[in-house]
Every structure is written in C-alpha cells, then in structure tokens.
Chain A
Amino acid sequence: MPKKRVIAIDRSNKEWKEKIISSIIIATATVSSLLLLAMLLFILKESWPVWSQIGISSFLSGASWRPLGSPPQIGILSMIVSTLWVAGGALLIATPLGFACAIFLAEFAPPLLAAVLRPVVNILTGIPSVVYGFLGAAVLVKFFEVKFDLASGESLFAASLILAIMVIPFIVTNSEAALRSVPLEYRYAAMALGVSRQHLAMKILVPLARKGMLGALALAFGRSMGETMAVLMLAGNILRLPMSWFAKGEPLPALIALELGSTTPGSLHYQALFAAGLVLVLMVMTVNLGINILLYRLQKGGHTI
C-alpha cells in the first residue's frame, strides 16, 4: 500500500514538471514569434515614408536607383530580379547535385565511404560565407576573366555557383534525413517483392520522402536569397537590370550591406534601404509559405507518410 502511494506522488510530480516544461516551451515560442513580429513592425515603421510617398508599385517596378540624385529615384526592380536570378540559379545547380548526393548517401554508399562523406558535408555548412566569397573573388572571377576573356569576371552566375556550393550541404543533410525516416515496412515490402535497389530508391523512397526533400529546397532557397557576403563579393554590384544569368547585378542583401553604412538615419536613402529589407524578408517568407501550402496539398492528395 505505501509503495503505491509513492508511485502516485511520483506521477503527480512528473505531471507538474511536464506542465512547467511545456509552459516554458510555449513561452519561448511566443517570445520568438513576437520578436519576429516586432522586427517586421520596426522595419515597416522605418520604411513607411517610402511606401506612403513613393508607393508600392513604383518602388517595386522602378528600375532606376539613385537615392541621392535630385530628384531621388528609388526603384528596386533590378535588385529583385538579381536576387531571383542568383537564388534561382543556385538552386538550379544545387538541387540535382544535392538530391543525388542524398540518395547516394542514404541508399547506395558503402558504410565506410558514407562515414567519411557525411561529416565532410556537415563541415561544409560551418564554413563562414565570407570565406566562400573570398575564394570566389580570388579564384572564380579570375578564372572567368582568363578563360572566357571577359573584361571583368563578376557575374550573377559566379555568385550562383558559390551559393550552390554553400546550400548543397543543407539539401543533402535534410533530404537524407527525410529518406531515412521512411518507415522500414516499405523497405521490407519492396524487398519481399524483389524489386531492384534502384527501383526501391527512386520509385518508392523518394516519392515517400518528397515532403522533407521539398522542405530542404525551401530552406536552401531562403538561405541563398538572404546570403550577403559571398554575393556582395561576386555579383559585380551594378545598377542595371540584369537580362541574363551571366550579366552582373546587385541582389537585395548586397545593396543593403553596401549602402546602409553610409546613410544618415532618417534620410530617404535610409528608409529606402529598410523598405528593400522588408521586400527581402517578405520574399523569403512567401517562398516558405508557398512551399508549405504545396506540401499541405500534396499531403491531402494522398500517398505520403
């Protein structure tokens, strides 16, 4: 009888603890979402004069950026287009390589090779972006100038290449985790049916893991849109609207990093840079939201885990 009572006390103690922990977690989550909201409100407040005086459409679609000219012209179309070229291009290069690498690591790699490759891929995520940018500026730019006899080697393509190397590890790690989390029953069932390893990987595991793999892509896209240092050093930073992947351009993070330091707080230039920041944040959020909606649709559509 006494023993039972001890257990009962223990249980209520445990419940109590769980309540505390869950309320802490809820509090932390609330605080961090409030922080995000506060940040958005702050950026909106700092950039408000731009939206009210110049207007959303002419700010977004104006191709001329001369914030200090008289009269000042502030339009960020060429920066938005540059951002999309750079980030989209990086994904174009990184997606096939990243997915292939993830499938190889999860299904085909001999254990020894995987044990070596996996930490290497993980270490790649930890290299500071300024190092990548520096490497790109020292090696890639020079390479383009010499190899293709260009007057100057900076281009959106060069920035995309370096960004691709930076986001491949994200794609690999997250996609591999998604592939591994497919329940074993599917594997056993496939083996029982005697399908080949290739069929198992491509026709069974990948479709089942597509949710996680798409999530990996969303993460990679967000990261490559927001990446600053490498892009700043490689994209060339010219103010002209980029008409191709191989043109130069100035993505939004590069614009903000380049100019914010020399603005006077409260000036139109300063407010315009905040407005550009808001546009960047909203772009990244839209992509994440879009992918989430897509995933939700996919899930409703049927056969996923």
Chain B
Amino acid sequence: MKKLVHLTVLLIALLVLGLFAGCSSNEPGGENNAAAKEDFSIKIGGSSTLAPIIAQCADQFTEEYKTWDKVDANLSEEPIVIFVSTGGSGFGLKSALDGTFDFGMVSKTLKDEEKEQFADGTITQIGSDVLVIGVNADNPVAQVKPDMSTEDLVAIFSGQVKNWKEVDPSLPDRPIVVAVRDLGGGASEVFDNAIMKGTPISDQALQIPSMGALAGKIMDNTDTIGYVSSGLVNQNPDKIIPISVDGISPTLENINSGAYKVGRPLLLVSKDAPNDREQKFLDYLLSETGLKVVEEMGYIPVAR
C-alpha cells in the first residue's frame, strides 16, 4: 500500500514536471538559442514525399562516417547529427526562409517569385516524382486506346465521361472508376497542373489515402483508371499499363528530356549558401549512393 502511494506521488511529480518543462521550452528562451549557435547538426524539414529519401540518406551518411572529420579531414571531430522532419512542401519553404531548418524539402515546381527568395542560397534538384496514368492490364483499353489526349483525360477525371463505352465504342459497357489521391495533396496538385488545369476532379472519384493503395486499386479492379508514381508502375509492369499523354509515353528518356510533363521536381532549398558540412551532405545526396536511394524509393533520380 505504502509503495503504491510512493509510486503515485512519483508519477504525479513527473507529470507536473513534464507540464512545466513543456511550458518553458515554448518560451522564446535566450539560453536555447545560444546553445543552437554551437550546434553542428543539420536540420531538414518539409515535404513528406522527400522525407523518407532524405532520412534514409542521412542514416546511411551517419552510419558510414559517424563524425565530420571522417567526411573531410578539415572538419572538426563532431558527431554527425542530421534531423529530418515532415510537414509538407509549403512548410518546407516557409521554415527554410525563417531559419527553422537549414534545408527545406520541397516537392513541387517553384514559382518565379519563390525562386527569387532563394537567390542567395541553393535550389538543388535530386530527382523527380513522375505520375503515370495507369489502367488495369485486363482492361481492353490498354490495347484499344493506349494513348489519350489531354482532353480525353480531363473528360474522364472530371466525370463528364462516365462509361468506358464512351471512351471508345469497342470498349465494354462498364462504369469508369476514377481513383485519385487526396485532393489538395502534392500528387493531385501535379496532376492538376499538368492535365486538369483547374477543372475540378469528379466528385465521384475515390480518394485513396496512399500511392501504394492506389496502385493496388488499379491492379485489383479492371474498371479503374488513376495516376500512380512511376516507381510503382515499374514494380508491377504486367499489372498496371501506362497510358501515353498526347502521344508521349512515360519512358525514362521522355521524363529526363522534359517531354513527359506529369511530374514534379524533388528539391532541397536553403536560404544562405550552405556551409562545408551542409555542402558535403548535398554532395552525398547527389552521389551515386544518394541517387540510388532516390531510385529505390520509386522516384526518378536527377540525371547526373
């Protein structure tokens, strides 16, 4: 009984302490900032698409070198610490500008005025996320109409055309199931910029919570059409059939030459010119090992 009381008191004390600690760290404290000046860590934040790639690279980088002097003899013998956190592309841009992060991760095409804000710093592309419009392998549209015009796609995704028969008379009389990612997310923004150009997506479109599930839906359901990350199409070559857009198929050449337009760059931005440590990590990302991670995660690495 006595023990129980002690334990409870201890727990409450911890709880109260925790609350106070929580409060004090929110205050704009002078001490914390002073400590941060001596901080050798690299802080990176932003797009949730890029985060797994950068986190993986950061892990490998830290495992391989452990301290900075092993990366480059000129650097001090500090342990390598790289923080990666997510919060979306917009958050990445904002936090890179206000100095919360050394690098912001951004997975969208930057507007000119956004590029200007980083004129003193760097904008580094490490790869692209390409969306492929795919259909189920058992859907005859893969043979009948493997190439669609932008207008066809807009009609299908906006819900004006609801039946496969309307796409081509030789197709079966079945409803078209349109599968998209969450409206407002990065992928749907890319699709809107490249194809829809502001035409709203049909309100009958299924919003699927992840790319993997969207690919799964296309593979499971013969009537589905949707956009998928290129990596997932490459992993399932016989199950998802890519549809060309205006005669341009999503091949590696077309993607790298910029002819295939349904995609977005994966960028790291910084407000100031990177210091030696940051530059070393950037170099690592753009090295063969770094770009291999980009490819393994299902994205197209930037051409070296």
B9 pairs with A24, CB closer than 8 A: yes
A262 pairs with B184, CB closer than 8 A: yes
Interface residues on B, range: 35 or more
Residues of B within 8 A of A248 (CB): 204, 206
Say yes or no: is A187 at the interface (Cβ < 8 Å to chain B): no
A-B contact pairs, 29 of them (CB 8 A): A24-B9, A31-B15, A31-B19, A66-B183, A66-B200, A151-B174, A151-B175, A151-B177, A152-B217, A152-B221, A152-B224, A233-B209, A233-B213, A236-B206, A237-B182, A237-B207, A238-B205, A239-B183, A240-B204, A248-B204, A257-B209, A258-B207, A258-B209, A259-B183, A262-B48, A262-B182, A262-B185, A262-B186, A264-B88
Chain B residues with CB under 8 Å of chain A are 5, 8-9, 12, 15, 19, 48, 86-88, 90-91, 94, 174-177, 182-186, 200, 203-209, 213, 217, 220-221, 223-224
Say yes or no: is A111 at the interface (Cβ < 8 Å to chain B): no
| B174, B176, B203: the one within 8 Å of A239 (CB) | B203
Interface SS majority for chain B: mixed
Task: Say whether, besides A69-B200, A151-B223, A259 and B182 are in contact (CB < 8 Å).
Answer: yes
| A237, A259, A264, A269: the one within 8 Å of B208 (CB) | A237
| A137, A151, A232, A259: the one within 8 Å of B184 (CB) | A259
Task: Say whether, besides A233-B213, A237-B208, A264-B94, A152 and B184 are in contact (CB < 8 Å).
Answer: no
Q: How far is the CA of A152 from the CA of B220 in the complex (A)?
A: 10
Residues of A within 8 A of B182 (CB): 237, 258-259, 262
Say yes or no: is A27 at the interface (Cβ < 8 Å to chain B): yes
Residues of A within 8 A of B221 (CB): 145, 151-152
Most chain B beta carbons < 10 A, residue from A20, A261, A263: A261
B177 pairs with A152, CB closer than 8 A: yes
Q: How far is the CA of A85 from the CA of B220 in the complex (A)?
A: 27
Residues of A within 8 A of B177 (CB): 151-152
Q: How far is the CA of A28 from the CA of B15 in the complex (A)?
A: 10
Shortest C-beta distance, A264 to chain B (Å), equals 3
B12 pairs with A28, CB closer than 8 A: yes
Chain A residues with CB under 8 Å of chain B are 17, 20-21, 24, 27-28, 31, 66-69, 137, 142, 145, 151-152, 154, 232-233, 236-240, 248, 250, 257-259, 261-265, 267, 269
Task: Say whether, besides A24-B12, A152-B224, A240-B204, A264 and B185 are in contact (CB < 8 Å).
Answer: no
| A152, A232, A233, A237: the one within 8 Å of B223 (CB) | A152
Most chain A beta carbons < 10 A, residue from B12, B15, B48, B94: B12
Going nearest first, the 3 A-B pairs with the smallest beta carbon separation are A264-B90, A237-B207, A262-B185
B183 pairs with A68, CB closer than 8 A: yes
A20 pairs with B94, CB closer than 8 A: no
Residues of A within 8 A of B184 (CB): 67-68, 259, 262-263, 269
Residues of B within 8 A of A151 (CB): 174-177, 221, 223
Shortest C-beta distance, B300 to chain A (Å), equals 21
Q: How far is the CA of A263 from the CA of B221 in the complex (A)?
A: 30
Which residue from chain A places its CB closest to the CB of B19 in the assembled complex? A31
B185 pairs with A259, CB closer than 8 A: yes
Q: How far is the CA of A141 from the CA of B209 in the complex (A)?
A: 16
Task: Say whether, besides A261-B185, A262-B185, A27 and B203 are in contact (CB < 8 Å).
Answer: no
Shortest C-beta distance, A162 to chain B (Å), equals 15
Q: How far is the CA of A243 from the CA of B40 in the complex (A)?
A: 58
| B12, B87, B206, B224: the one within 8 Å of A27 (CB) | B12
Q: How far is the CA of A263 from the CA of B185 in the complex (A)?
A: 8
Most chain B beta carbons < 10 A, residue from A69, A145, A237, A248: A237
A240 pairs with B203, CB closer than 8 A: yes
| B5, B94, B204, B223: the one within 8 Å of A238 (CB) | B204
Residues of B within 8 A of A269 (CB): 184
Task: Say whether, besides A69-B200, A151-B177, A238-B205, A261 and B224 are in contact (CB < 8 Å).
Answer: no
| B88, B183, B220: the one within 8 Å of A261 (CB) | B88
Which residue from chain A places its CB closest to the CB of B208 in the assembled complex? A237
Residues of B within 8 A of A236 (CB): 206
Which residue from chain B places its CB closest to the CB of A78 in the assembled complex? B203
Known: A151-B174, A240-B204, A257-B209. 14 other contacts (CB 8 A): A21-B8, A68-B184, A142-B220, A145-B221, A151-B221, A152-B217, A154-B206, A233-B209, A236-B206, A258-B207, A258-B209, A259-B184, A261-B88, A262-B48
Residues of A within 8 A of B206 (CB): 152, 154, 236-238, 248
Which residue from chain B places its CB closest to the CB of A257 in the assembled complex? B209
Most chain A beta carbons < 10 A, residue from B86, B87, B176, B209: B209
A265 pairs with B91, CB closer than 8 A: yes
Task: Say whether, besides A232-B209, A239-B203, A264 and B220 are in contact (CB < 8 Å).
Answer: no
Q: How far is the CA of A261 from the CA of B223 in the complex (A)?
A: 29
Residues of B within 8 A of A28 (CB): 12
Q: How far is the CA of A17 from the CA of B224 in the complex (A)?
A: 67
